[in-house]
Amino acid sequence: MIKYDTDERHSMTKLNLIVMDNARELGASIDEHLMKKRGAKSSFIVPIEMVRFSNAEGKVVLNGTVRDNDVYIIGDVGNYDQTYITHNRVQYMTPDEHFQDIKRTISAMSGHANRVTLIEPLLYESRQDKRKGKESLDCAIALQELEHLGVRNLITIDAHNPSVCNAVPRMAFSNIYPTSKILESVYKNEGEELANATVIAPDEGAIERAKFYSELLGCDLGFFYKRRDYYNVTNGKNLIKEHAYLGPDVAGKNVIVVDDMIASGGSVLKVIEELKNRGARKVFVCVTFALFTEGIGEFSRCFQGGLLNGVYVTNVSYVPQEIKNQPWFYDVDCSELLADIINRLNRGTTLAGVNESKDEVYQRFVRMRKKK
């Protein structure tokens, strides 16, 4: 009987990528990195056809075999540029429709794959991760649907609430943080500007993240507390009455505002204005996801007015090219990170060193500064 070590045994399992239409650019980059890592001469991508009927119902057709292979599905539920035609009207796809297409893709494999791993950087319904009163529990339900369909592993990036994994205790759930990639990009562009920095959390929820950054950079930490109007609801929200600041003096300091997401951008823009009013020298924003649901006009005006110096955003979820072309926008490439994760999972090796500990990120940052 032949005995294999863990790496060798798993390296014999063929790897396939299925790239959803909503993640073509990211998927192609991941595929290129995988080909280099494994010395492959041909793509790992198995083509699929995503069909829309005229009444907006859909299906997915798999145009290749995945039998007994490890399949990695890459999908971006946050892509708001995908369209289809129904009743002679152009419709833009929503996260709900993207998620439904992911489920169609899994069902198209008919259970023939060896293992199915879903790479969903922007976790579907991650902002509806817990229930307060009589409301839906969408993220947990979606995860349970994936588990029921046979997904063995789910890889997500910077989940809004990682503890939602408790909804699927039998499915492997890996939440990866792009901290080192973001810091590398910031340091590459800003260099010694970080020596006189203060890290700011724009709200209470981002304090732990900001603390991590401040400890790595060896600088001060501050945060803003959102005082809301809990007596009135506007468009389903309790509006913010004031951004109250708690922390060290930022006068003359360069400031890094860190959070997981920019949605409309209203909160972060208020924070930027408050910081500049307090004498901050330069202001940089670092986030994993940037949705810009109300456009980028205010961000451009802040940049032109000297209030904002840069916004660093990962490329794991869709951002239009016209936004990427803005002088204040910095694209942080995480495709090699995701390719490394796929390569390790397929070979059965640990993800240690990918989802780096605080000490590992610090050592990487020290080495980066020495090279500079």
Q: Tokens for 348?
A: 């059965």
The per-residue pLDDT for range 60-111, each reduced to its tens digit, is 999 999 999 999 999 999 999 999 999 999 999 999 999 999 999 999 998 8
Average pLDDT over residues 334-353: 90
The per-residue pLDDT for range 170-208, each reduced to its tens digit, is 999 999 999 889 988 998 888 777 778 999 999 888 888
Q: Tokens for 275?
A: 């910081």
Count of all residues that appear for the chain in the document: 372
The reported pLDDT for the residue numbered 4 is: 33
3-state helix, strand, coil in the chain (%, to 5): 35, 25, 35
Catalytic residue among 103, 181, 226, 358: 226
The reported pLDDT for the residue numbered 237 is: 66
- Kindly write down the DSSP assignment for every residue of 131-178, as one continuous string: --SS---HHHHHHHHHHHHT--EEEEES-S-GGGGGG-TTSEEEEE--
The reported pLDDT for the residue numbered 193 is: 75
Sequence-distant (≥ 6) Cβ neighbours of residue 203 within 8 angstroms:
223, 224, 225, 226, 259, 267
Q: Does domain 179-333 have CATH number 3.40.50.2020?
A: yes
The per-residue pLDDT for range 210-244, each reduced to its tens digit, is 998 888 888 899 999 877 777 777 776 667 777 78
Q: Which has more pLDDT, 368 or 127?
A: 127
The reported pLDDT for the residue numbered 69 is: 95
The per-residue pLDDT for range 25-50, each reduced to its tens digit, is 999 999 999 999 999 999 999 999 99
Assigned architecture for domain 6-177+335-349 = 3-Layer(aba) Sandwich (3.40)
* φ and ψ of 267, to 5 deg: -65, -45
Domain 6-177+335-349 and domain 179-333, same fold? Reply is yes
Catalytic (active site) residue 226 = yes
Mean pLDDT rounded to a whole number for the chain: 89
Q: Please determine, for residue 2, whether its predicted confidence score (pLDDT) is greater than 70.
A: no
The per-residue pLDDT for range 285-327, each reduced to its tens digit, is 999 999 999 999 999 999 999 999 999 999 999 999 999 999 9
CB atoms within 10 A of CB 64: 11
The percentage of residues in the chain with a pLDDT greater than 70, rounded to a whole number, is 90
The reported pLDDT for the residue numbered 3 is: 35
Q: Tokens for 304?
A: 């032109």
Residue ranges per structural domain of the chain: 6-177+335-349, 179-333
